[in-house]
Amino acid sequence: MDEKFDVIVVGAGPAGTACAYELAKAGLKVIMFERGEYPGSKNVMGGVLYRKQMEEIIPEFWKEAPLERPVVEQRFWMMDEESMVTMGYKGLEWAKEPYNNFTVLRAKFDQWFAQKAVEQGALLINETVVEACIVEDNRVVGVRTDRPDGDVYADVVVLADGVNSLLAKQLGFHKEWRPDEVALAVMEVLKLPSEKIEDRFNLEPDQGCTIEMFGDVTKGILGTAFLYTNKESVNIGVGTTLSGLMKAKIRPYDLLEYVKNHPMVKPLLEGNESQEYAAHLIPEGGYNSIPKIVGNGVVVVGDAAHLVNAIHREGSNMAMASGRMAAETIITAREVNDFSENMLDSYRVRLMDSFVGQDLKKYKDTTHTFEHHPQYFKEYIPMLNRAAGQMFTVDGTPKKQKQKEILRSMTENRGKLGVLQDLYRAWKVMK
């Protein structure tokens, strides 16, 4: 094909679309490829979309974007088999503009967002798989698609092809992710009438809540389960490190069934109708796993660049932020007509200086630590449950004696020093 573009974006998820949007807005000639029938057709996430990074691209997007519910309450459940200790925050300031964050269904949201990029002038080509980057003289100069007459050329190629990023792997930017660098998440969308959702989760119409679950729901494997409310459905899922699953020999969908049937969860789902089931990897290796993300004529953004904060389940926002920063760099590079790795590297620098790089750095050892010290999930959460159970059971035992017994049982396994070490270690990686 003879036509040449300024930029080719591969993948119309949050990262690619954010990038294409900014580039097209600045007047660049952009073509974006998506292998799905339409953007979002196969994309999944738990469903929390963060306002801030979206707003930086489209101000007041909540007035027109297909959102489910603004989140007014975030709950955290520390679960044992038949009990839980809970914590949370509910604030009605989050129910008003400008809101805090929203639940979304990606199939609708991605399609809308990509359409916005098209309105800015980006060309969206669906149902087309990019099979390889075209490399000439150690420079990426275009891509090869699976279509007849399917080569297309550009000054820069943006790889926004998601966690597996076969294209970045082909370029030698990263190897196959190790099982402890990725989480395998399975989730289901369950249909429920809105009145039931509002009753069961104590919400007004137009309010939503998120529940993060730890402990028994992952059978002690490092990971979390989640339950988020949409308008007329809930998203329920569980994600654990692939290495943990392999070690425990548990099938991911069996784990999801376990979560759905947990006595603390089951009543909330009563009478649902399953709508959709999906499994997806999440890049959770953090800072230490970020691969090479810049080359001559090429940059990598979003999940493909391993930009997920597993502790705060932030991924889509980092994807958007990285897409936007890549666009800004490309726009500058174009002014001097220099698309070398050297020039494009200012994207990486910008990214690492931003909240994306800083947050990933802050938590760089967290998942690793928890993976290597399973006592946090396996022992402390049940312990916490027992402690709370004992403390709140009125059985005539003086409270002081209860406290003593709790303390004794807590230090029984690891000793006082061990517990202190564990606490210090946890504080160090989270601080």
Partner 1 sequence: MHIVVCVKQVPDTKIIKMNPKTNTMDRSSAPAIMNPYDVYAVEEAVRIKEKYGGTISVLSMGPPPAVSTLKKCVEMGADDTYLISDRRFAGADTLATSYALAEALKKISSEKGEIDLVITGKQTIDGDTGQVGPGIARRLDIPPLTFVQKIKEIDLGNRKISVHRKREDGYEVVESELPCLLAVESGINEPRYAPLPNMIKAARHEPVVWSVDDLEDIDITKLGLKGSPTIVGKVWAPPKSEGAEMIEGSTDEVVARIVDLVMERKELFQDKEVQPS
Ligand X SMILES: Cc1cc2nc3c(=O)[nH]c(=O)nc-3n(C[C@H](O)[C@H](O)[C@@H](O)COP(=O)(O)OP(=O)(O)OC[C@H]3O[C@@H](n4cnc5c(N)ncnc54)[C@H](O)[C@@H]3O)c2cc1C
Q: Which residues here bind ligand X, judged by CB under 6 A?
A: 10-16, 33-36, 39, 42-48, 129-130, 160-162, 185, 187, 237, 239, 280, 282, 302-304, 308, 313-317, 319
Cα–Cα distance, 228 to 101 (Å, whole number): 12
What are the backbone angles phi and psi of residue 47, rounded to the nearest 5°? Answer: 125, 10
CB 81 to ligand X: min, Å: 24
CB 44 to ligand X: min, Å: 6
Closer residue to ligand X in complex, CB, 14/70: 14
Q: Binds 162, which of ligand X, partner 1, none (CB < 5 to 8 A, cut-off by type)?
A: ligand X
Cα–Cα distance, 169 to 165 (Å, whole number): 6
Cα–Cα distance, 80 to 106 (Å, whole number): 31
Closer residue to ligand X in complex, CB, 23/384: 23
Q: Binds 297, which of partner 1, ligand X, none (CB < 5 to 8 A, cut-off by type)?
A: none
CB 237 to ligand X: min, Å: 5
CB 139 to partner 1: min, Å: 22
CB 164 to partner 1: min, Å: 23
- Tokens 């979390």 correspond to 224
Cα–Cα distance, 192 to 232 (Å, whole number): 5
The contact set with partner 1 (CB under 8 A) reads 1, 3, 31, 123-125, 128, 145, 147-152
Q: Binds 150, which of partner 1, ligand X, none (CB < 5 to 8 A, cut-off by type)?
A: partner 1
Q: Binds 388, which of partner 1, ligand X, none (CB < 5 to 8 A, cut-off by type)?
A: none
Report the candidate in 182, 224, 230 with the shortest Cα–Cα distance to residue 209: 230
Please answer whether residues 245 and 218 qualify as being in contact, where contact means their C-beta atoms are separated by less than 8 angstroms: no
Please answer whether residues 244 and 378 qualify as being in contact, where contact means their C-beta atoms are separated by less than 8 angstroms: no
Please answer whether residues 126 and 110 qualify as being in contact, where contact means their C-beta atoms are separated by less than 8 angstroms: no
Closer residue to ligand X in complex, CB, 140/387: 140
Angle 242-245-251 from CA coordinates, rounded to 5°: 115
CB 214 to partner 1: min, Å: 38
Q: What is the DSSP letter of 39?
A: T
Cα–Cα distance, 15 to 160 (Å, whole number): 6
Angle 322-327-328 from CA coordinates, rounded to 5°: 100
Q: Binds 124, which of partner 1, ligand X, none (CB < 5 to 8 A, cut-off by type)?
A: partner 1
The tokens for 308 are 């997920």
CB 148 to ligand X: min, Å: 16
Q: Binds 31, which of partner 1, ligand X, none (CB < 5 to 8 A, cut-off by type)?
A: partner 1
Closer residue to ligand X in complex, CB, 44/141: 44
